[in-house]
Homo-oligomer: A and B are copies of this chain.
């Protein structure tokens, strides 16, 4: 239960547990055991208990966990007890799809604006969300207390976008460009490389035959 260092794999799993618990809540299931959580997320019960143990004691021995209560705890751990304002840079196919992605909204991520440098795209609306010129990002981020930015531009432009958004004061970046980006120490960054995931599949397919 010490704050020590928490494995990233644990955080990933907590996020998955949380989504599963939400689903249980919807189905009016009030109590669940670590064994059943494990079954629901394709994991092991020991892992579930261990992951939770980093943060406290949330269950009742002999009984299990209260679904709603546990999910509430996990959401708080993940920082999801309030909404987050997000901007997306890159109003292409991927950026536009992400701006409409229900999975973000459901978890409290609000995409407030999109940014691009293509005059064709500036001024358009994707759903409710307007596309602004990249030059306005700093003002927008400050005015709307935006702390997270999604980068969905072609790889060659990604590093340049970083300088813009870091200057704007963004604290965390979710990068979809398949390129390693340099960011200042104080900025969190996470890469989502879609092709990598495909390639893990093909690697495994080749192994098994």
Chain A residues proximal to chain B, CB less than 8 Å? 8, 11-12, 15-16, 19-20, 23, 40-42, 77-80, 84, 86, 93-94, 96-98, 100-104, 106-107, 109, 147-148, 154, 171-174, 178-180, 182, 186, 188, 190, 192-206, 208
Please, how many angstroms separate the alpha-carbon atoms of A180 and B41 in the complex? 5
With A188-B205, A194-B103 known to touch, is A80 a contact of B178 (CB < 8 Å)?
no
Q: Are A78 and B11 in contact (CB under 8 A)?
A: no
Please, how many angstroms separate the alpha-carbon atoms of A15 and B205 in the complex? 15
Q: Among B84, B196, B204, which residue has its beta carbon within 8 angstroms of that of A15?
A: B196
Q: Among B80, B171, B202, which residue has its beta carbon within 8 angstroms of that of A172?
A: B202
Question: Which residues of the other chain, B, contact A106 by a CB distance below 8 angstroms?
Answer: 195
Which of A8, A86, A206 is packed against the most chain B CB atoms within 10 Å? A206
Q: Among B42, B101, B198, which residue has its beta carbon within 8 angstroms of that of A174?
A: B198
Q: Are A77 and B203 in contact (CB under 8 A)?
A: yes
Please, how many angstroms separate the alpha-carbon atoms of A178 and B19 in the complex? 8
Q: Are A93 and B84 in contact (CB under 8 A)?
A: no
Please, how many angstroms separate the alpha-carbon atoms of A173 and B173 in the complex? 27
With A98-B194, A180-B16, A200-B8 known to touch, is A147 a contact of B103 (CB < 8 Å)?
no
